[in-house]
Amino acid sequence: MQSKNLIPIIVALVVLVSVYELFHRRFGQLHSASAPQAAVSSATMVGNGDSARPLASQSGVPRSHALAVPIESLPERSSPIAQVYGKSHEATLSADRLGNFPRVYIQAKQKVLISLHFPQGHPNDSVSIRVEDGGLLDKGAAARVLPLDSGSNVQFHFQASEDPGIYHVVVRDGADDWTFNFWVGPQLPMAKR
């Protein structure tokens, strides 16, 4: 008789543990998932001449997540300050609470210099950098590990391929992921609400 009473309790515990694991996996992945883009106060161009494109944020319909966590409920983190240098323009970017930098428009095969300053970093701390959707880093690599310099900065180059679309470059500092979203091709139209 007692074993029948334990079955609902065991089932409830299994469900509770499964929900906790799902929450933990999903919440941990929010740092590297694409999310709504942060606003940039002024548009900047990357490229030169007639082929220049705006270097700015692209707001639109956010990618849905299986677990809805209000962005406001996420803790503040010390975001690195990023500067992206194109052929003739530059932009200073800040990441949102999910660790996503605003979308940056670049040309096919364009090489950009990315400079990051980690306010709470220490000299010689290592950061890992990886490309996720094509393109290459310095020396033709898809991933690198670089130390912070004496000013808690790191610099690297990213070059997109000739294919249009999104290119994610993820920088990992300890347990935090910071994602750059580069776009090759025409600007996408804004979604109407």
Pairing of strands 81-85, 111-117: antiparallel
Q: Comparing C-alpha atoms, which of 115, 111, 113 is closest to residue 160?
A: 111
Q: Comparing C-alpha atoms, which of 62, 67, 70, 84 is closest to residue 158?
A: 84
User: How far apart are the two ends of the chain, measured CA to CA in Å?
Assistant: 58
pLDDT band at 81 (very low <50, low <70, confident <90, very high): confident
pLDDT of 127: 94
What DSSP designation does 95 have? -
What domains are there in the chain, each with its CATH number? Answer: 31-60+72-184 (2.60.40.10)
pLDDT of 7: 75
Q: Which residues pair with 155 in a beta bridge?
A: 115
pLDDT band at 58 (very low <50, low <70, confident <90, very high): very low
187: tokens are 């600007």
Asked if 44 contacts 55 with a C-beta cutoff of 8 angstroms, the reply is yes
Name which residue leads in pLDDT, 4 or 35.
4
Asked if 114 contacts 82 with a C-beta cutoff of 8 angstroms, the reply is yes
pLDDT of 60: 38
SS3 81: strand
Range from 8-12, 36-40, 75-79 carrying the lowest mean pLDDT? 36-40
Q: What is the mean pLDDT of the chain?
A: 74
pLDDT of 20: 64
Asked if 171 contacts 138 with a C-beta cutoff of 8 angstroms, the reply is no
Q: What is the mean pLDDT of residues 137-150?
A: 94
